[in-house]
Amino acid sequence: GLGGKVETTRALLNIANMNWAYSELFQNYDRRQLEAYLPPSLHTSESDGLLMHFAETHDNQRLAAHSPDYARMRTALAALCATRGAFGFANGVEWWATQKIDVHQRTSLNWGHPHNQVAAISRLNSLLSVHPAFFGGAQMRLIQQGTGNSLALRRQSPDGAAALLILINLDHAHPGQVSWQTGDAPVPSQGWLDLLSEKTVSATVNGDWAQVNLKPAEVLCLSAAAEDLTRLQAAEQAHPHLPDLIRQQCLRERALEAVAFYRGMQDVSDLDLERLAEDLAADPRRFCQQLNPAGGNLVSWQWPRDLRRTVMLPPRHFLLISAPAPFRVQVIAAACVLRQEDALPLAAGGYFVLLPPLTTPAEPQACELQLTVYQAARAAHAVGQLLLLPDGARLTVPTALARAELLDKHQLILGTNGRGGMLRAGVIWGALRSRYDALLAGNLSRDFPEDRRIMLTRCRAWLVYGGYSQDITVDREQAFLRDGQAGLWRFQVPFSHG
């Protein structure tokens, strides 16, 4: 909540570049107050930044302290008057908690109470997710007339093809009536279908006027289209997923983020954003290659296969994270969250996150990928390792080491032949610091690095001169030189006939 006057909230939303703020709906109770508050709040949501309707906050007494019916009505009011589905509530509203929230104490949430409005809130969430009259750009207008403490809100989809009539009795103690002119909301001959209770509702029509009687705290969400209820019920039975509208919006955002990285800030009015979104969902790797044919600059990380790997991420490379189920990922370095994203569905199945290149560190930086994967039976929590690499142009590797430098720290030579063959040996002759050290090893997998097959661990040698033999050891090593993919160890071996 940004607080203060409406002008203060607008200024903060614009000047401070904030995305949303609390609305003051929860502090407006009767018809007169809501008629004064709702229209300007809708204007602010469309012109300055989204105002989130909270049914209840810690500033006020619990809704259920009045009555469960009152709590249900106020929760539905916040949801059904929301812009772009932006509504919420304090913990415990779903369980009809009655103890006022004290931010310095642990008050009861009434958790798990058998009498609750969990199913009612679930229906509201589904309704806001699937009905176009709640999408961005929908038109909303209060149309109630006459007296009484009730609201009539007409909602219409952006294209005008779908409409809803919301009727709310704000009085939880007495029945009421709500009236409107039929020119503002026509009355269908077959009556409406209430998308909350699934019952049929009819109105009394007298000339150009219509009226519906309401029970105390009753809320109706009326539709003249039977398919609205069918779509709503199907959404409730389906596996939880992003609404299609939000999915497309997120895909467009990710696609534009990639375009901005590869091509810089430019006029994108000629881009087919829907086509870009489709290409990204079809194949993120190919999408990046199309934007940058020279390379693509993408590193892949797959759950759960890569949990046992430390994946290196070079500068200016995207990170493609994928899993068969929905997931959330955080990139964390030194207890700081560098990025957090929720996965988007792939067109062919599965889910992905395409992270743009992270800030290039001055030296290798270890990060964690903390994942929560929402599998069908339960959520799985896992941590992967990520190593951010510095810019190679800023790094130098010595190709020659004198004896004093050899003993300073553990240094390695790495030589590969591009076919899985590998030399990984310490520059200190004969030293084994790791089970992966080898003069000759092979990676036998065609697809990814795996445990090497060690064929020659180290070499011991002796020089024989004049009938005397001397072993070649680190005590006699004088220097090390790097020569292409090979290493040259130089020794000075003394021989004496004395």
| Predicted confidence (pLDDT) at residue 485 exceeds the cutoff of 80 | no
Give pLDDT tens digits for 6-38.
888 888 888 887 889 989 999 999 999 999 999
Nearest to 278 by CA among 269, 265, 287: 287
Terminal Cα distance for the chain, rounded: 92
How far is residue 196's CA from residue 187's CA, in Å, rounded to a whole number? 19
Give the pLDDT score at 489.
92
Lowest pLDDT segment from 50-54, 259-263, 275-279, 483-487: 483-487
Those residues with Cβ within 8 angstroms of residue 295's Cβ, 6 or more apart along the chain or in another chain: 289
Q: In the chain, what percentage of residues exceed pLDDT 90? A: 66
Nearest to 74 by CA among 50, 99, 49, 57: 57
Predicted TM-score of the model (pTM): 0.72
> Where are the extended beta strands (E) located within 157-215?
163-169, 176-181, 192-194, 200-201, 204-206, 209-214
Backbone angles phi, psi at 221, to 5 degrees: -120, 100
DSSP assignments along 43-95, one per residue: HHHHHT-EEEEES--TTS--GGGT-HHHHHHHHHHHHHT-STT-EE--TTGGG
For the chain, give the mean pLDDT. Answer: 91
Give pLDDT tens digits for 156-175.
999 999 999 999 999 999 99
Given a contact cutoff of 8 angstroms between Cβ atoms, the answer to whether 493 and 476 are in contact is yes
Inter-axis angle of helices 6-15 and 31-47, to 10 degrees?
20
Given a contact cutoff of 8 angstroms between Cβ atoms, the answer to whether 262 and 298 are in contact is no
Give the pLDDT score at 164.
98
Give the pLDDT score at 347.
94
User: Does the CA dihedral 383-277-271-48 come out positive or negative?
Assistant: negative
DSSP assignments along 234-278, one per residue: HHHHSPP---HHHHHHHHHHHHHHHHHHHH-S---TTS-HHHHHH
Average pLDDT over residues 438-445: 91
Distance of CA 283 to the CA centre of its chain: 19
Given a contact cutoff of 8 angstroms between Cβ atoms, the answer to whether 357 and 389 are in contact is no
How many other CB atoms are found less than 10 A from the CB of residue 423?
19
How far is residue 170's CA from residue 174's CA, in Å, rounded to a whole number? 9
Give the pLDDT score at 452.
82
Res. 497 pLDDT band, cuts 50 70 90: low
How far is residue 260's CA from residue 270's CA, in Å, rounded to a whole number? 14
Average pLDDT over residues 323-345: 95
Please give the domain boundaries of the chain with CATH numbers for all domains: 6-237 (2.60.40.1180), 244-392 (2.60.40.1220), 400-491 (no CATH)
How far is residue 41's CA from residue 43's CA, in Å, rounded to a whole number? 5
- C-alpha distances (whole Å) from 266 to each of 260, 263, 354, 366, 404 are 8, 8, 21, 34, 55
Q: Which residue has the higher pLDDT, 36 or 245?
A: 36
Nearest to 127 by CA among 225, 245, 235: 235
Nearest to 368 by CA among 342, 334, 391: 334
Res. 2 pLDDT band, cuts 50 70 90: low
Those residues with Cβ within 8 angstroms of residue 342's Cβ, 6 or more apart along the chain or in another chain: 326, 327, 328, 353
Those residues with Cβ within 8 angstroms of residue 105's Cβ, 6 or more apart along the chain or in another chain: none
Average pLDDT over residues 245-250: 90
Q: In the chain, what percentage of residues exceed pLDDT 70? A: 98
How far is residue 254's CA from residue 266's CA, in Å, rounded to a whole number? 16
